[in-house]
Amino acid sequence: MTDASLNAGSYNIPNQTEFDDYFALLKPRVMSLVVFTASVGMLAAPVGVHPIIAFASILFIAIGAGASGALNMWWDADIDAVMKRTAGRPIPNGKVSPHEARNLGLWLSVFSVGMLAITANFLSAGLLAFTIFFYAVIYTMWLKRWTPQNIVIGGAAGAFPPMIGWVAATGGISVEAVLMFLLIFMWTPPHFWALALFMNEDYSKAGVPMLTVTNGKKSTRLHILVYTLLLAPIAISLSFTQLGGPLYFCASLALNLWFLFGAFKLFARDETIASDENYKLERKFFFFSLVYLFMHFLALLCEAFVDFAFFSWPVVI
Amino acid sequence: MALSKSHPQHKRRQRSNIIIGALLLGFVGLVFAITVVKMSNGAMLEAFDHSYRISVTPEQND
């Protein structure tokens, strides 16, 4: 039997798995956000890291995030198949089999945690392992199908990367790392609930108990406003740590005022008008929430490299 | 039936193989670079070859 005969049976299969399909399992867009926030956490730390160690650490954090994404796609394949937004993912469209996705997720988890332990330190590797466990097991397997508070608690998984970056550089957890964690943790609910407002049909069809499905859109709009109010002091308080400074303070103040204004407009909005306008404002708010987070971390990065304190800046936290 | 070289499937497989090969090579290179950084710990590496090493030779005072 030759290689040719081995191949002969499979090369006519239309859904032959390609490298890109495996890569799509790792949720590249989520990975890019993880790379950015983890890099800021690492670069803003008051400890210099060798460029090769920094690059490798960020790479393994990103692979860990990708591994949890693959495990999420494996477990949620039934939901993904029903939802319009996710129906094109590799498992629902038949490009990758569920057990392949599970195996890829498990092996990449072990690989990324082990390599981060060797490259950086055991604490950061432990945090990465906990993040993967939290996202794949606590959020995906348990919270997502059980409670409308799923993304509130599950948001912790997305909030860990800057803390892992910080720990990889410094070897310890400090108030700055906790505040960066809280910034993403409190930002996650308004971000996803805004998405749920205009994707409600998808979640409803899939039987996912999002707040919009269980409590209705009016209640969701109120929740967005409350969480945005709680988020603002946390985001601004980073200004008064070693990480912050006048540039971050001005950026954070402006972004939070804008975000709060948007949340208030969403709250005051009539559902019929929102539906008639195809949730234009909700989509805008969702898009702005991405800009909001990106700009906060960009301001932190700028503060790390340029000293904007032309006068004495109070560091009280 | 053999898979001819011009078959699109052959090209797709070749592309995947090249990407995987490049990733493996990159990983080997990265592990090598990490090892060098970890071992040198910021200082120059000096091989031991059964000869006098300047860094461990005591200074001789005249």
ipTM for the complex shown: 0.81
Average pLDDT for chain A: 91
Confidence of residue A200 (pLDDT cuts 50, 70, 90): confident
Task: Give the C-alpha separation, A19 to B18, whole Å.
Answer: 10
Q: Are residue A151 and residue A222 in the same domain, yes or no?
A: no
Domain hosting residue A43, numbered range: 17-172
Within an 8 Å CB–CB cutoff, is residue B25 touching chain A?
no
Residues A114 and A29 in one domain: yes
Largest CA distance in chain A: 79
Residues of B in contact with A11 (CB under 8 A): 3, 7, 9-10
Nearest-neighbour CA in chain A from B47: distance (Å): 22
Per-residue pLDDT reduced to its tens digit, B21-44:
999 999 999 999 999 999 887 666
Q: Are A74 and A102 in contact (CB under 8 A)?
A: yes
A280 C-beta neighbours (distance < 10 Å), count:
12
| Same domain as A121, residue A22 | yes
Average pLDDT of the segment spanning A147-170: 93
A8–B33 CB contact, under 8 Å: no
Q: Determine the residue of chain B that is closest to A6 in CA distance.
A: B2
Q: How far apart are the first and last CA of chain B?
A: 84
Distance from CA of B46 to the nearest CA of A (A): 20
pLDDT on residue A10: 44
| pLDDT at position B1 over 60 | no
Residue B51 is predicted with a pLDDT of 67
Q: What is the count of structural domains for chain A?
A: 2
| Whole-prediction pTM | 0.87
Residue A8: what pLDDT?
Answer: 43
In a domain, A128, yes or no: yes
Using a CB-CB cut-off of 8 Å, the residues of chain B touching A50 are 37, 42
Q: Is residue A1 part of a domain?
A: no
Residue A211 sits at the vertex; the CA angle it makes with A208 and A212, to the nearest 5 degrees, is: 90
Tell me how far apart the alpha carbons of residues A99 and A91 are, in angstroms, rounded to a whole number.
10
Check whether A142 has a pLDDT greater than 80.
Answer: yes
Domain final position from A172, A206, A227? A172
Q: In angstroms, rounded to a whole number, what is the distance separating the alpha carbons of residues A42 and A54? A: 8
Same domain, A102 and A207: no
Nearest residue of chain B to residue A119 (CA atoms): B34
Q: Determine the distance in angstroms separating the CA of A20 from the nearest CA of chain B, rounded to an integer.
A: 8
Is A138:A188 a contact under the CB 8 Å cutoff? no
- pLDDT greater at residue A248 or residue A315: A248
Check whether residue A31 and residue A164 sit in a common domain: yes
Shared-domain flag, residues A202 and A166 = no
Domain endpoint, select from A128, A151, A172 = A172
Q: What is the CA radius of gyration of chain B?
A: 24
* Closest Cα in chain B to A11: B9
Structure tokens at A317: 């936290």
Which of A100-109, A298-307, B49-58 is modeled with the greatest confidence?
Answer: A100-109
Average pLDDT, chain B: 79
Do A158 and A22 belong together in one domain?
A: yes
User: How does pLDDT run across A2-23, given as a tens digit for each residue?
Assistant: 444 444 444 444 557 788 999 9
Residues A156 and A189 occupy one common structural domain:
no
Same domain, A132 and A167: yes
For residue A73, is it within any domain?
yes
* Residue A309 placed within a domain: yes
Whether B30 contacts chain A with CB within 8 A:
yes
Q: What's residue A89's pLDDT?
A: 94
Nearest by CB to B37, from A8, A19, A53: name it: A53
A73, A140 Cβ separation under 8 angstroms:
no
A199 within a domain of the structure (yes/no) = yes
Residue A41 counted as domain residue: yes
Question: Are A217 and A74 in the same domain?
Answer: no
The pLDDT score that the predictor gives to residue A224 is 97
**Closest CA of chain A from B3, distance in Å:** 6
The span from the first CA to the last CA of chain A, in angstroms, equals 71
**Interface touch B7/A52, C-beta < 8 Å:** no
**A2 lies in a domain?**
no
8 Å CB contact between A218 and A271: yes
Q: Which of A128, A146, A172 is the last residue of a domain?
A: A172
User: Within this chain, do residues A40 and A159 fall inside the same structural domain, yes or no?
Assistant: yes
Closest CA to A59 of B33, B44, B13: B33
pLDDT of amino acid A201: 85
Tell me: do A122 and A88 sit in the same domain: yes
Q: What b-and-e string marks burial along A55-93, b requiring 16 or more CB atoms within 10 Å of the CB?
A: bbbbbbbbbbbbbbbbbbbbbbbebbeebeebeebbbbe
**Residue A90 within any structural domain of the chain:** yes
